[in-house]
Amino acid sequence: MLSVQGLHLWRGDRHVLRGVSFDAGSGQCVLLTGRNGAGKTTLLRAIAGLLDPEEGKVLWRGESTRATRDTFHSELAYLGHEPPLKGDLTGYENLHYGVGIRRAVAATEIDAALDRTGARAFADRATRRLSAGQRRRIALAGLLLANAALWLLDEPTTNLDADGQALVAQLIRQQLDRGLVVAAVHQGIELPAGKVRALELEAA
């Protein structure tokens, strides 16, 4: 489904991605590991199309993601290092507007996603009043609601307690039944061994 072929990317004079290649099919989770500055976030952003690599290409379902950008993006959910939430909106409003621009979403669906991520109890508060972990749970609900085949996750367990980290592992396992996940991680995520592939990036 996803094929990353020989990505080279420079940031200024730093050669961050040096010919990164991998293939991943449905039901697989690619865990990107490596030290700080190894290019994990850069690789995720390049796959998503937020960065233009100088060389190489990304194929989704056999087609270049540059040529079919909107279709690819409609099948993609990207969760960056910081949850993309508006501090002056409630968690519920953030999901209503954030997911609503992608697909029609009913209030009951939002409630169900908030239940699954354990965020229902605080979803009616302005997100700037929430803890970092609570904000992350709201963002995870948004990820579920995106109904995307490909998840790109940048440090998805950041700021989460042990329960939250187990929740992320559970959500990824469920996602693997319907698509694939590429995640940049610092700490391990408990996933079935046969479905995980680790890719270590080296700092330039």
Partner 1 sequence: MRTPALTAARLVAGRDLRLAFRKPSQLLQPLMFFMIVATLFPLTLSPEMSRLRDVAPGVLWIGALLSSLLALEFLFRDDAVDGTLEQFALSGQSLTWMLFAKTCTHWLLAGLPLALSAPVAALALGVPAAALGSVVAALALGSLALSLVGAICAGLTLGARRGGVLLSLLTLPLAVPVLVFGADATRLAIAGESVLPPMYMLSAIVVLGMTLAPLAAAAAVRIGLE
CA-CA distance, 141 to 195, in Å (whole number)? Answer: 23
Site string for partner 1, 46-85 (x = CB under 8 A): --xxxxx-----------------xxxxxxx-x-x-xxxx
Task: Report d(CA 115, CA 113) in Å as an integer.
Answer: 5
Amino acid identity at 124: D
Count Cβ atoms below 10 Å from residue 162 Cβ, excluding itself.
Answer: 8
Find the shortest distance in angstroms from Cβ 93 to partner 1: 7
Minimum CB–partner distance for residue 188 and partner 1 (Å)? 26
Is the CB of 53 or the CB of 164 nearer to partner 1? 53
Q: Are 170 and 12 in contact (CB under 8 A)?
A: no
Task: Return the H-helix or E-strand segment holding 159.
Answer: none
Q: Is 35 helix (H, G, I), strand (E, B) or coil?
A: coil
Determine contact, residues 29/183, Cβ cutoff 8 Å.
yes
Q: Is 101 in the site for partner 1 (CB under 8 A)?
A: yes
> Using CB under 8 A, which of the segments 15-23, 97-105, 113-121, 194-202 binds partner 1?
97-105
Binding to partner 1 by CB under 8 A, coded x per residue (else -) over 102-121, reads xxx-----------------
- Residues near partner 1 (CB under 8 A): 48-52, 70-76, 78, 80, 82-89, 93, 97-98, 100-104
